[in-house]
Amino acid sequence: MEQYIIKGGKALAGEVTIGGAKNAALGILAAAVMTDEPVVIENLPDIRDINVMLQTMENIGAKVERLDRHSVRMCSGNISCMNVENEYIRKIRGSYYLIGALLGKYKQAQVALPGGCNIGSRPIDQHIKGFEALGAVVKIQYGLIQAEAKHLTGSHIYFDMVTVGATINVMLAAVLAEGLTILENAAKEPHIVDVANFLNSMGANIKGAGTDVIRIKGVPKLHGSTYSIIPDQIEAGTFMLVAAATKGDVTIKNVIPKHLEAITAKLEEIGVQVEEFDDSIRVVATKRLGHTQVKTLPYPGFPTDMQPQISTLLVISEGTSIVTEGVFENRFKYVDELAKMGASIRVEGTTAIIDGVDLLTGAIVSAPDLRAGAALVIAGLVAEGYTVVEQVEYIERGYEDFESKLCELGAVMEKIDANDEKAVRKFKLKAC
Ligand code: EPZ
């Protein structure tokens, strides 16, 4: 098991370049199996969830050729097995997009129930509702989701709640269905638009992605494509929060500022200076920041995947702030870890009441999930003394080269083996 050891207190400064969006890439990789022609995907993030997905697609017969660290060529003409079941695939969330893709193309799919961050119950009833509306028979048994259909026919589907996963999954199942599918109450995240744009580049007929009504006219088949994934909105937002929390001056490159508007607005509200350029954003904080209220909502609201990070920033801001988690039921597991560092947070249901403190002090903390892990790193970067963040494998699911990007901005941190006492001593000596 690896861990980060961090010596806090430094203002981070410099430039960081953002990678491709994890939550777009997972849907796009699944969509790539829907054509027998070669597909080239560029700007893929080199992170564990993506590598697990690529391995899984090879396991079912897709030919995957790494062109460079961030590009692959895939050929799915030889897919023979519709049964996606391996120990790794159960650890990630995006595996379930293979149901929509395989069902859409082969009219059958059998995929292990999805894993992913433990931030709530995360049912898949809306995915199933959409598949069944298109004419599939769906069963959950032996830990697998089994879907099959003699024929897929377009349908008018109204999601009970805004769901990123179901919007993407049902869109995948509908692109080759006969006739028109209308998705109402659809999710509008940038990664939904990216998956739709990729499918349209393969010859699909999707209109309205990015709005709450998506219209999909089924087409007979899809052709190959070369496509580059959009920058990761949440990785960019995380580095914005790093700059703000450490009172730094960081220029974040390869971003789409529009995707960051909710984060920018909230940061400016509490006193952070944010300067937007065409494909970069500069974040500067020089003084103690103020308090505010945040409620996480589906896009274009404040992203739930930025909730642990903004809460950590508010822990060291002036006054009392309120953070309400509006998407998942159980996304405050990191609060106990922050309390070990001196934070004053009270959680009541899905709301956290945060009393700003002057100082956090280093401690040994454990990452409960991907974004909470990133938030604990932010806490370590501002705390006095040394912080050890355990379970960094969660963080590496969604952030490429996280510690080296932070070190390039001046962070004093290292990734070490959990049992390597010598490495801890060596780091502390070096960091003095
Ligand atoms: C995606 O999860 C992301 N994961 C999550 O990012 C992100 O937090 C979430 O969307 C919201 O933006 C991937 O894209 C791989 P949802 P997903 O379906 O699709 C309920 C990260 O850190 N719901 O939009 O699982 C659900 O319980 C991860 O990168 C149902 O009730 O999220 C939740 O309360 C964490 N039934 C809400 O809807 C369903 O069938 C939103 O879930 C589906 C969802």
Expressed in angstroms and rounded, the spacing between residue 300 Cα and the centre of ligand 1 is 15
Of all protein residues, the one whose alpha carbon is nearest to atom 41 of ligand 1 is 163
Residue 82: per-residue pLDDT:
73
- Distance (angstroms) between ligand 1 centre and the Cα of 117 equals 10
Q: Residues of the chain whose pLDDT is less than 50?
A: none
Question: What's the CA-to-centroid distance between 130 and ligand 1, angstroms?
Answer: 16
Q: Residue 432 catalytic?
A: no
Atom 5 of ligand 1, nearest CA residue: 305
3-state secondary structure (DSSP) of residue 266 = helix
Q: Which atom of ligand 1 lies at the shortest distance from residue 49's CA?
A: 15
Q: Terminal CA-to-CA distance of the chain, rounded, Å?
A: 25
> Biggest alpha carbon distance in the chain?
68
Helix residue ranges, H only, 270-401:
307-315, 335-339, 370-382, 392-396
Question: What atom in ligand 1 is closest to the CA of residue 189?
Answer: 12
Ligand 1 centroid–CA 314 distance in Å is: 24
Quote the CA–CA distance of 428 and 110 in Å, as a whole number.
Answer: 50
- Contacts of residue 141, defined as CB under 8 A and 6 or more positions apart, other chains included, come to none
| pLDDT tens digit sequence for 251-284 | 999 999 999 999 999 999 999 999 999 999 999 9
The pTM of the whole model exceeds 0.95: yes
pLDDT digits (tens, 9 = 90+) for 292-340: 999 999 999 999 999 999 999 999 999 999 999 999 999 999 999 999 9
The pLDDT value given to residue 379: 98
Amino acid 78: pLDDT = 85
Q: Which atom of ligand 1 is nearest to the CA of 122?
A: 27
Which pLDDT value is given to residue 390?
Answer: 95
Residues with a CB atom less than 6 Å from ligand 1: 22-23, 26, 93-94, 117, 120-127, 161, 163-166, 187, 304-305, 327-328, 370-371, 398
Amino acid 88: pLDDT: 66
User: What pLDDT, on a 0 to 100 scale, did the predictor assign at position 142?
Assistant: 87
